[in-house]
Chains A and B, each alone.
Chain A
Amino acid sequence: MTLAIRARNLVKEYDDVRALDGLDISVEAGEFFGLLGPNGAGKTTFINILVGLAHRTDGEAAVFGHDVGDEYQQARDAIGLAPQEYNVDRFFPIQEVLEHKAGYHGIASGEATRRAEEALKTVGIYEKRDTRFDWLSGGMKRRFMLARALVSDPDLLILDEPTAGVDVQLRRDLWGVINRMNDTGTTILLTTHYIEEAERLCDRVAIVDEGRKVEEASPDELMDRGTDRISVSTRSTPATAPDLDLPDIHDARVDDGELVVTAARGSSVVPDLLRQLEAAGYTVTEVDIERASLEEVFVDVTRTESAVEA
């Protein structure tokens, strides 16, 4: 399988700050890959190295097999970037900005105009094509950032917090556009603070902390590593939690008349849990499993890393 992104032992130092500390990331072509991490984890630095806005200190980084330094033209031609910060040319109406961006990618004038119009229609701001960026609303600005990333029809779409600060409806609209791009084969690298976004969209996520990858898996696999919450209602309320002999159970307690059990892989624990409760004389009337969220796993992982460092 072709790798859309390959980073090996990537290091970036700013004076005495080590922003990336041997980062290893592989993203397969066509994949929807999420990059999660707390502020200052090195996500944007990693993206900047890929697109040419930062020079690596050491290590390897390649886009579709092209080294981002030695073959920067090929690498950058494959990338469409929607950065977190607005960095748009304010002198020109937004359609012209898109035409320019397409032109830098070698797209001839007529075709550049067609693509610019198409990109604006895709994100739903075609009517604003003659407006300058500064005069767009906040939501429209976010839409435009995505349009600019799309206009060169990239093989790799890099989205750095693409839905930061937008309302729920717009977020869902943007998710729709991004998903359609991924469905047509575009590789997506997404960084986000909205864990729900990664949970819903990504095939795989990597959690980065202090410049290193601390975890990588599918959202489901990661959530499996979290602690699920199993609430069990019984006909007679137990005064205290019964003794349960199951290896995946972390805790059991009676809370508001319910037996609340926290356990890894809750759904696989439930059958044995019910058997033990019935054997202990309880009649179970209702069971509810609340799965661990990716957010909880994320907090656990990054907290653990910090604790190890300390």
Chain B
Amino acid sequence: MSGDDSSVASDGGVTAGESTAGLGRLFPTGFRTLFHREVLRFLRRPRNTFLPPAITNVLYFSVFGVILGGRIDSFALGGREIEYIAFILPGLIVLGAISNAFENSSFSIFHGRWNEYIHEVLTSPLPYSSMVLAYILSSALRGLIVGVIIGLIGLLFTSVPVSRPLYLGAFMLVICLLFASFGVVGGLWARDFDYLTVLNQFILRPLVFFGGVFYSLDALDGLAYTVSLLNPMVYMVNGVRFGFFGAAELPPNESLVVLSVLTLAVVALNVELFRRGYGLVD
């Protein structure tokens, strides 16, 4: 058996004489190993993981920000005039971050299922919660890194303040966790690679584009405005924009609470799906 004391802690596979104090107890070896593996998976392939969003966003900033943005009036937000290229930056960060968080977990799980190497994890003594959290946290980390990369690219084109860093951090963390969690559901649900494309191209991307990335909600009226309020992306973009500019079109606290609760609910769903073996076992 693995450990000298052959014990398996109920909170996460602490064995082999591992210290049950401090960090080891909070993040047992099994969890850390899977998290580390998942992080290595995207760090070792920057041409597949970080270069594409970097290039895409250079194009976004060049075309929408510089070429077209120069012809668009600045926006008034909280009594401050914001040029268009700065206005779209929070939305582009959200778009890149959530796409990558979602893609990472969905692809990793689906590819593991497709080639059956996810069995290495499933046949191990890791508790289901550790499996799920390792996939979610590593994918959220990729989303955050991509968000930072896009932010740095944006700084090459414009300057933006970070008026509310805690809000910015909190929103970015929650939305990356949320979409990494959605990615787990997608990875379990998918029966073919086409399914992932459908999720990304036909559901995720339209929601983001109609989520106020490239326009202000004030530009909408009547039904379009009301319908937009049903789009969760609106609250995410709005929250990140609040983190940058200290002003937003919708109240950020309520958005943060709702998104946090939604994230916890999807994480709990993921754990339950793993426990039931949905898409994983016979």
The answer on a CB contact under 8 Å between B8 and A77 is yes
| A residues near B3, Cβ cutoff 8 Å | 77, 105-107
Interface: A103 (CB within 8 A):
yes
Rounded to whole Å, the gap between the CB of B106 and the closest CB of chain A is 16
How many Å lie between the Cα of A152 and that of B123 in the bound state? Answer: 12
Contact with B along A82-103 (1 / 0, CB 8 A): 0101011111100001011111
The answer on a CB contact under 8 Å between A104 and B33 is yes
The answer on a CB contact under 8 Å between A153 and B120 is no
How many Å lie between the Cα of A102 and that of B6 in the bound state? Answer: 13
The answer on a CB contact under 8 Å between A106 and B13 is yes
How many Å lie between the Cα of A104 and that of B3 in the bound state? Answer: 11
Interface: A55 (CB within 8 A):
yes
The answer on a CB contact under 8 Å between A153 and B123 is no
The answer on a CB contact under 8 Å between A152 and B1 is yes
The answer on a CB contact under 8 Å between B115 and A77 is no
Among B231-257, those with CB < 8 Å from A are: none
The answer on a CB contact under 8 Å between A91 and B41 is yes
Is the contact region of chain B dominated by helix, strand, or loop, or is it mixed? loop
| B residues near A54, Cβ cutoff 8 Å | 281-282
The answer on a CB contact under 8 Å between A76 and B16 is no
The answer on a CB contact under 8 Å between A87 and B119 is yes
Interface: A120 (CB within 8 A):
no
Rounded to whole Å, the gap between the CB of A22 and the closest CB of chain B is 18
Closest to B17 in A: A108
Closest to A154 in B: B1
Q: How many residues of B contact A (CB 8 A)?
A: 39
The answer on a CB contact under 8 Å between A55 and B29 is no
Binds B, one of A31-39, A45-53, A200-208: A45-53
Of the candidates A48, A74, A81, A97, which one forms a contact with B125 in the assembled complex, judged by CB atoms under 8 Å apart? A74
Question: In the complex, how many residue pairs between chain A and chain B have their CB atoms under 8 Å apart?
Answer: 127
The answer on a CB contact under 8 Å between A52 and B122 is yes
> A78 with B1: in contact, given A55-B281, A108-B16 (CB under 8 Å)?
yes
Rounded to whole Å, the gap between the CB of B107 and the closest CB of chain A is 12
| B residues near A119, Cβ cutoff 8 Å | none
Interface: A26 (CB within 8 A):
no
| A residues near B83, Cβ cutoff 8 Å | none
Of the candidates B1, B34, B123, B282, which one forms a contact with A55 in the assembled complex, judged by CB atoms under 8 Å apart? B282
> A106 with B15: in contact, given A153-B1, A154-B1 (CB under 8 Å)?
yes
Closest to B24 in A: A108
| B residues near A153, Cβ cutoff 8 Å | 1-2
The answer on a CB contact under 8 Å between A105 and B115 is no
> A104 with B125: in contact, given A87-B115, A87-B119, A90-B117 (CB under 8 Å)?
yes
> A77 with B41: in contact, given A53-B119, A153-B1, A155-B1 (CB under 8 Å)?
no
**What are the nearest 9 A-B pairs in CB distance?**
A103-B33, A106-B15, A104-B124, A105-B2, A87-B116, A77-B125, A54-B282, A89-B117, A73-B125
Q: A53-B281, A81-B123, A106-B2 are in contact. List 19 more A-B contacts (CB 8 A).
A: A14-B282, A52-B122, A55-B282, A73-B13, A77-B6, A77-B8, A78-B1, A89-B37, A100-B120, A103-B32, A104-B13, A104-B124, A104-B125, A106-B3, A106-B8, A107-B2, A107-B29, A111-B16, A154-B2
16 A-B residue pairs with CB within 8 Å? A73-B8, A77-B3, A89-B112, A100-B33, A104-B13, A105-B2, A106-B2, A106-B3, A106-B30, A107-B16, A108-B18, A108-B29, A111-B16, A148-B120, A152-B1, A153-B1
